[in-house]
Copies of this chain bind each other. A is one copy, B any other.
Amino acid sequence: MKAYKNMTKEELQQLQKELSKAFEDVKGKGLKLDMSRGKPSQEQLDLSMGVLDMISSETNCKAEDGVDCRNYGDMEGIPEAKKLMADMMDTKPENVIVCGNASLTVMFDTVSRSMTHGVCGSTPWCKLDKVKFLCPVPGYDRHFAITEYFGIEMINIPMSESGPDMDMVEEYVSKDASIKGIWCVPKYSNPQGVSYSDETVRRMAALKPAAEDFRIYWDNAYVVHHIYEEEDKQAKLLDILSECEKAGNPDMVYEFASTSKVTFSGGGISAVAASPKNMEYIKKSMTIQTIGHDKLNQLRHVRYLKDLEGIKAHMMKQAASIRPKFQAVLEALDRELSGLEIGTWISPLGGYFISFEALEGCAKAIVAKCKEAGVVMTGAGATYPYKKDPKDSNIRIAPTFPTAEELKMATEIFIICVKLVSVEKLLEAK
């Protein structure tokens, strides 16, 4: 196929005419499709219904330490849930606190605590003139929303296929004591599906921060969320806690994970993992904040998932459900856009998204066109701090929630819009 940029003005005008016609045709169908949401589909949720049978009036509700999960107690989580989440996060149970439904809340609370009380004895951030976070981009909008909410200045760090630009990260972190954190989704990153290379993880663990209260916010949201079988081996992520320990930085990281996309987004369990010193500091605050998280739900989850092997087997069912959707989108992009040089994308091995890089200055227009034709995409810019994509080129595609049929139509429309907006952009320059 001929790259659009090599086309003559006349060729582009002819193409624009055809694409406009195609666009008006699909628009005329009055569709209502949604590729915006990183939500599991009904089929995926159905896979976990067994969780709901694990506790009933016929079962006992005792944890293995004898604690009655119906009552107060075990603020750190029941032992078997600590073990399960530790296994999932590739760390030790004593490094883990099992929390409530959402790891996002644990992250928010971690930043909030640093604002009011500092980090392991440092000055509370609310007393500082300036607090900054590094934000690998494109990234997860809800991370950026937390730091923005607390008035923390965010600095973009470009992502490559092996993770964030570590030269930049090292430079910033070692020189600027106002930099207190970096947001990371180290495996199957949101939205690109990039997994950090061993070198990236090791350089991350070996950072020499100017700020004693600098922490890596390691959101391992997709730690077991492979799309293909056996892909785990290719995308195996080093354990950040032990790498930090080896590098002499045992306290430099908080790791977060949850079962939101393993079992139920509306009723899962989450966890935070960190060094003993960090744990002690977290517990000082958490013990004021709660008498304990929902232990019955922890028990349900352990009884259903059992152990790491159980989680892996379960996630292969999830993979089987979402793989055809990812493949459908990727095949359509390949078929329709390869060689046109109007967009790039990475084929992810896991996670929940496909990240599309349009021509510079086209993302907002493409998303707007899609909306006009009845397809909701994640807002352009959402993957950047302050919702500002400096190149206006990144679009996040979320293939999991729609049905296969809806997804097929939505992808077709998305491709028409990408082509049409790109042609118009190129014509502007002629």
Q: Could you list which residues of chain A lie within 8 angstroms of chain B, going by C-beta atoms?
A: 37, 39-40, 42, 45, 48-50, 52-53, 55-57, 59, 61, 68-74, 100-102, 104-105, 108-109, 112, 115-117, 124, 126-127, 142, 145-146, 149-150, 264-267, 285, 288-297
Contact = CB atoms under 8 A, between A and B. Distances in A.
A105 B45 CA distance: 28
A296 B267 CA distance: 6
17 contacts: A39-B71, A42-B68, A45-B61, A49-B57, A52-B55, A71-B264, A72-B265, A101-B294, A102-B291, A108-B289, A115-B116, A117-B149, A126-B126, A266-B294, A266-B296, A294-B294, A297-B297
A35 to B, nearest CB: 15
Contacts of A117: 149
Given A39-B72, A149-B285, A291 B265 contact: yes
A39 B71 CA distance: 7
B289 A73 contact: no
Nearest to A263: B70
B108 A288 contact: yes
B294 A267 contact: yes
A68 B104 CA distance: 20
Q: Which 7 A-B residue pairs are closest in the complex by CB-CB distance?
A: A267-B296, A49-B57, A126-B126, A108-B289, A266-B295, A101-B294, A45-B70
A68 B45 contact: yes
Given A52-B55, A57-B49, A70 B267 contact: yes
Contact of A294 (B45, B48, B56, B100): B100
Contacts of A126: 115-116, 124, 126-127
Contacts of A116: 112, 115-116, 126, 150
A115 B15 CA distance: 58
Nearest to A285: B149
Contacts of A292: 101-102, 265-266
Contacts of A108: 288-290
B39 A290 contact: no
Contacts of A288: 108, 142, 145-146, 149
A49 B55 CA distance: 10
Given A100-B100, A297-B267, A57 B50 contact: yes
Instruction: Name which of A71, A101, A126 has the most chain B CB atoms within 10 A of its CB.
Output: A71
A266 B105 contact: no
Given A39-B71, A49-B56, A124-B126, 17 more contacts: A40-B71, A45-B70, A48-B70, A52-B56, A52-B57, A70-B266, A70-B267, A74-B266, A100-B293, A100-B294, A101-B292, A102-B292, A109-B289, A115-B115, A145-B288, A146-B288, A266-B295
